[in-house]
């Protein structure tokens, strides 16, 4: 199975079911978002996704609009508070590295 074949087949199924055609990059974005929603630390997500820059943060900045799409009735407040804490810690960690690299 090749990447083009897989994406083509997925899009055939989705479009025939009335969903939009999706680019391959959507899998990467969706995977990163899902891992974050599961509470995986952002630096682990970045490493696992082979993000070579902080460009992935552009997707996460839009998390307020993305989050409602992925949260189901099974989500609980403890999980969401944990995610909020993880994101705050990552933001502090990233800011410290940015300041240190400028010095």
Domain that holds residue 50: 3-102
pTM, two decimal places? 0.50
Query: Quick one: pLDDT at residue 22?
Result: 85
21 pLDDT more than 80: yes
Task: Read off the pLDDT of each residue in 22-51 and give the average, rounded to a whole number.
Answer: 81
pLDDT tens-digit series, residues 38-68: 777 778 888 888 887 767 667 666 666 556 6
Say if residues 24 and 3 touch (Cβ distance below 8 Å): yes
87 pLDDT more than 50: yes
4 pLDDT more than 80: yes
The 3-state DSSP class for residue 49 equals coil
Query: Quick one: pLDDT at residue 73?
Result: 40
Task: Read off the pLDDT of each residue in 2-28 and give the average, rounded to a whole number.
Answer: 89
Domain count across the chain: 1
Rounded CA-CA distance 17/79 in Å is 32
Residue 44 DSSP label: H
Query: Quick one: pLDDT at residue 15?
Result: 92
């Amino acid at each position: 199975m090749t990447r083009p074949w897989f994406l083509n087949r997925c899009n055939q199924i989705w479009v025939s079911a009335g969903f939009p055609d999706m680019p391959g990059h959507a899998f990467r974005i969706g995977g990163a978002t899902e891992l974050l929603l599961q509470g995986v630390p952002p630096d682990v997500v970045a490493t696992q996704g082979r993000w070579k820059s902080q460009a992935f943060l552009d997707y996460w900045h839009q998390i307020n609009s993305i989050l409602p799409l992925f949260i189901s009735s099974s989500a609980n407040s403890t999980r969401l508070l944990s995610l909020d804490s993880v994101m705050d810690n990552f933001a502090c960690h990233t800011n410290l590295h940015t300041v240190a690299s400028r010095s």
